[in-house]
Chain A
């Protein structure tokens, strides 16, 4: 409401007929040209922006292209956000006014968004599938020289509301003044002039009796646009600037999912149980197998597949840790679907490896690799995420020893693996030896899991990982 009022005020100011101040009247016209035929009420949050930019242009001694953000206008019907479904333009494309820019969808309505400018597409701000809010910039369009400076006003002339200065070629042509009663954007005026038609002869179909490009094309009996291409100018180099002020970003997408599930986890009374595992034998084993696996499958063998498999073997003996709370019931899950906390460029995801109890260490390696790739390419599917029954976080991959992992509801336990450190430890005979120590931190849901259960489970896993050969006995 407030914003509406402010804009209205600005609007009212523009409507005032007393334009004694030249700069002000100049601003009014520029608002027309920048926003095209559409009402500027929805275009820019504040029309002042556009005013400023033209002012800058006006004062500059040489002519250059200006990049205009093209924003998603209000579609009506209370639509606040839309999904971008198809781009009809790509970066570098030249667009004319009314050319299709993209197709968006909201509320089962497919909406074709058309350009309000003539120019070159500089940047697409959204990818197909992204959600854009009303007011968000959709594309940056570089407006060609003469369009941006069409409003250039000779120093001596006072501009009345219906007088427009149209400069055809700033660099060499003398200023041509077109006195015309009709309303139209500079682009349309240029088109009219190119075809030698007077705007007043044309039936205007635009808002408030404005002459549209289509009207001219219709008048001259031409179906397609035949505009001469605007001169191409090298794009201004993009500069990365540090964040100058606070930035507000809505919590959405993957972060939103994390937000919801982690809030839910607050209702779980967590208890922690930590231990350190000496992975010396596993380190040797992996070293021996690494080359073999690389050679036969092309896959990189990490410690994770061993840990995941061992976890599954330990879960078999402690099925309650692979259970889920469903109302008043505890559901003991048949499948060991082990979630792996994955740090993707888009946020934390917990894709799971399904039915680990049936998979070999090689299978797990392949699946981990697939999920890793998918994570990097934002291709993790909902099917990959659904159905997890137990979680592991390999935070040690980045660093750290002990952690305090948060349970991912409705699961009842999670483990965080620290990095493997080479540390001195005493062996059975009391000698100091070199040990490969990995710290492990468990969190359990104390409503259903006892500390003792967790300790036994952890010991079982420790047993398998410290002497991986023991796993052999249980492999089918």
Chain B
């Protein structure tokens, strides 16, 4: 356990401190050239499920092509403009660890620290990274805050952490903004939809790239330094470059990838939520539509006020929409194929408003 909040300049203390303990364990470092987020996350899963970390710790260093990675218990609709991202072919992934949503691209480095339950220590992992940065760039003002974020110049977040703890194995992974597209960070992590749900909310932070503070820093420099310091913490070490989809080396990893990239995982695992939208109808005045979505499927549709004209259309929509996936494709297809035996104009305005939930 570490004394949180007292970690300013912790990296330098870490090296001066005589109490610094070297682990008796071996460490294995994996790097990869793969940039498919699902594949890299599948590798994490595979390691967590299959590997025994009682005698060795592992570090995995990876980067992803543009993607938004949300926490295990988050709502993608609340965190990012889903339809927009899908259109622009930015991946949306749900990871297995907790915490909030992050944007990844090749300008962002990810570190995953695997260990067994007894050696799980996020602070110690982050100190490795902070130490590496300070050795590379002594004037850099980096510190670990109490949220286990690494912050630059006292306020800008450059790294966020989250972790997954099982009975035996754990991993802690963190991001590091080196030279990521900051416009995309902001754009991909802002949704305009009004959602009521119990899902984990992301904590918004002002972010900065490391290159903004020191433009000499590069991916290779940082990785080498982090690996170097990590190795020095352990009794012995091995470094490998692997491909994270190697079925021979990692039997079953393809299945993990398949699950992580499935709709059932990314959207189906969303904690239940409701959406509402109010609009004005010339004839009937203010109309409120409420959708309740459970496990990614529409569970209920409500249209208020329950006037006579509305009761019929509500029942019509309820019988057809309940059980439909809450996805742009499925809903658009469903609503445009329905032929309501009712006021067409009213039906159109209601269905258009339902579809606009997905924008």
Contacts and interface: CB of A to CB of B under 8 A. Distances in A.
Interface of A: 75-78, 83, 85-86, 98, 103, 105-112, 114, 128-129, 205, 296-299, 362-363, 366, 370, 379, 381, 383
Given A86-B73, A383-B194, A108 B98 contact: yes
Contact of B1 (A78, A112, A297, A362): A78
Contacts of B73: 85-86, 103, 105, 110
B294 to A, nearest CB: 12
A75 B304 CA distance: 46
12 contacts: A77-B120, A83-B200, A85-B271, A86-B73, A107-B148, A108-B147, A108-B163, A111-B164, A114-B167, A128-B271, A299-B305, A370-B304
Between B71, B98, B271, B308, the greatest number of chain A beta carbons within 10 A of the residue's beta carbon is seen for: B98
Contacts of B194: 383
A149 to B, nearest CB: 26
Given A75-B165, A129-B198, A366-B304, A108 B100 contact: yes
B306 interface: yes
B96 A297 contact: no
Contacts of B305: 297, 299, 362, 366
B97 interface: yes
Contacts of A111: 98, 164-165
Contact of B97 (A109, A128, A129, A381): A109
Contact of A105 (B4, B72, B120, B307): B72
A110 B306 contact: no
A109 B271 contact: no
5 smallest beta-carbon distances between A and B, as pairs: A108-B99, A110-B98, A129-B198, A108-B162, A105-B98
B320 interface: no
A366 B306 CA distance: 9
Contact of B54 (A85, A98, A205): A205
Given A85-B271, A108-B71, 8 more contacts: A76-B120, A77-B120, A105-B73, A110-B71, A110-B72, A110-B162, A205-B54, A366-B305
For the residues of A in contact with B, the DSSP-based class is mixed
B196 interface: yes
Contacts of B97: 108-110
Contacts of A106: 98
B45 to A, nearest CB: 12
B196 A76 contact: no
Contacts of A75: 165
A12 B252 CA distance: 46
B225 interface: no
Contacts of A296: 307-308
B204 interface: no
A140 B122 CA distance: 32
Contacts of B1: 76-78
A106 B73 CA distance: 12
Interface string B130-168: 000000000000000001100000000000111111110
A285 B304 CA distance: 25
A392 B162 CA distance: 44
A42 B326 CA distance: 43
A306 to B, nearest CB: 18
B279 to A, nearest CB: 14
A188 B133 CA distance: 48
B286 interface: yes
B72 A103 contact: yes
Interface in B194-233: 194, 196, 198, 200
Contacts of A370: 304
Contacts of B166: 112, 114
A297 B306 contact: yes
B48 to A, nearest CB: 10
B307 A297 contact: yes
A98 B168 CA distance: 10
A78 B274 CA distance: 34
A86 B163 CA distance: 16
A108 B286 CA distance: 41
A417 B122 CA distance: 55
Contacts of B161: 108
Interface in B292-310: 304-308
B162 A109 contact: yes
Contacts of A103: 72-73
Contacts of B163: 108-110
A476 B113 CA distance: 65
Contacts of B162: 108-110
Contacts of B52: 205
Nearest to A358: B286
B287 to A, nearest CB: 11
A114 B98 CA distance: 17
A381 B196 contact: yes
Nearest to B166: A112
